[in-house]
Amino acid sequence: MFKDKTIVLGVTGSIAAYKAADITSKLVQAGANVEVVLTDSALQFLTPLTFRSLTGRQPVTSLWEPAGEVTVKHVSLANAADVILVAPATANTIAKLAHGLADDILSCTILAARAGVIIAPAMNCNMWDNAATQENIRTLQSRGFIFVGPETGHLACGYEGRGRLAPVDQILALVGSVLNKKKDLAGKTIVITTGGTREPLDPVRFIGNRSSGKMGYAMAAAARDRGAMVRLISTVDLPESAGMEVTRVQTAAEMLGAVKNSVKGADALIMAAAVADFKPSKVASEKIKKASASLDLKLEPTTDILGEVKGKFVRIGFAAETSELIDNAERKLDAKNLDIIVANDVTAPGCGFGSDTNKVTLIFRDGHMEDLPLMSKREVADAILDRAVPIFAPMARVSGSIAARGA
């Protein structure tokens, strides 16, 4: 699985850095081309000679090393990588990656890469449990970074807790899994909408919903990583991933126009946006003053985007509900002529708007159902695409649609 694959191994300044030599040795023995990147802190634990002896290549230790007349080293490494593995990864490196900092050769390489990134943390247990570290990890996971470990046990600092580097064999197994992941959407163009629309009441206020856009961004990242060309139509400003065309919208009407333009020649449409069902009948030109104790607000329905976008589509939808989950989802499945609907109770723990996880039930056109356990939204996205690919893959290149509406 590793033969002739290029793996960029980033080593950072943890006492567990010595295990990076074992990882390197095993990857090389399996036939991989290993490019080692050492941070300044890593050089306090290991010398470049160690990795040069194992790989036959000079490790990269500085952003300013010459790389030839027409190449920039961090860009050439990023382009060559089939996967990037950071093992061990310190709290400092995780924080830099989460905030998009690029002040050394490793962070620059990862920022420039389109390959999958695997992070194997190793640090003091209190540093791991720190709220800032956990928030940074959630941020990276939402962008598609894959974490392995850490393990619980005795730490070099004398503490007992979670912070040990994951076992080498476990790390290598995950690298192999990422390398072998099918590009089953290669050649497909998928349009994805995400976020909650905002319908203006006046220049200051709007009618909206609690959608964070995380589910749509997870769908977009999953589709991109499986080889699809992604056209993302978004109402929110979550961090954008490389390899996507992004269109910003606010209202349901703007989203409808963007969808109509984007689905031309596309293979699928994932409607992960939570489109407002109603909008004010009249939008005030100036801020409405609090002149009385009450305000009568007249609303009218927004346009049904799926109803307006015509064509021969594979249709998959999300039903975010607060009661009668299955009944409401089945009615939407029939009304919108969907092939699959993904039903989720947004009142359940870990499943609400803004959460990083979701627990869903897949309901298929033929009537059978499949319950999925509580998973990260990225894992949910991959599970949905796993079921969708067999449906639309046999179709000739037509205007495709995977419609989704969710958190």
Contact call for residues 106 and 60 (beta carbons, < 8 A): no
361 alpha-carbon distance from chain centroid: 21
**Exposed / middle / buried, residue 312 (Cβ in 10 Å: 0-12, 13-18, 19+):** exposed
- Site of tokens 């269109």: 247
The answer to whether the annotation marks 282 as part of a ligand binding site is no
Q: Which residues are catalytic?
A: 157
Residue 303 CB neighbour total at 10 angstroms: 13
To the nearest 10°, the Cα dihedral for 94, 96, 99, 103? -160
The answer to whether the annotation marks 327 as part of a ligand binding site is no
To the nearest 10°, the Cα dihedral for 312, 313, 314, 315? -130
Residue ranges in 81-153 assigned as alpha helix (H)? 91-98, 105-112, 125-129, 131-142
What's the rounded Cα separation, in Å, for the pair 59 and 36? 5
What's the rounded Cα separation, in Å, for the pair 177 and 365? 31
The answer to whether the annotation marks 188 as part of a ligand binding site is no
The answer to whether the annotation marks 312 as part of a ligand binding site is no
The answer to whether the annotation marks 336 as part of a ligand binding site is yes
Known binding-site residues for CTP equal 277, 287, 318, 332, 336
Known binding-site residues equal 277, 287, 318, 332, 336
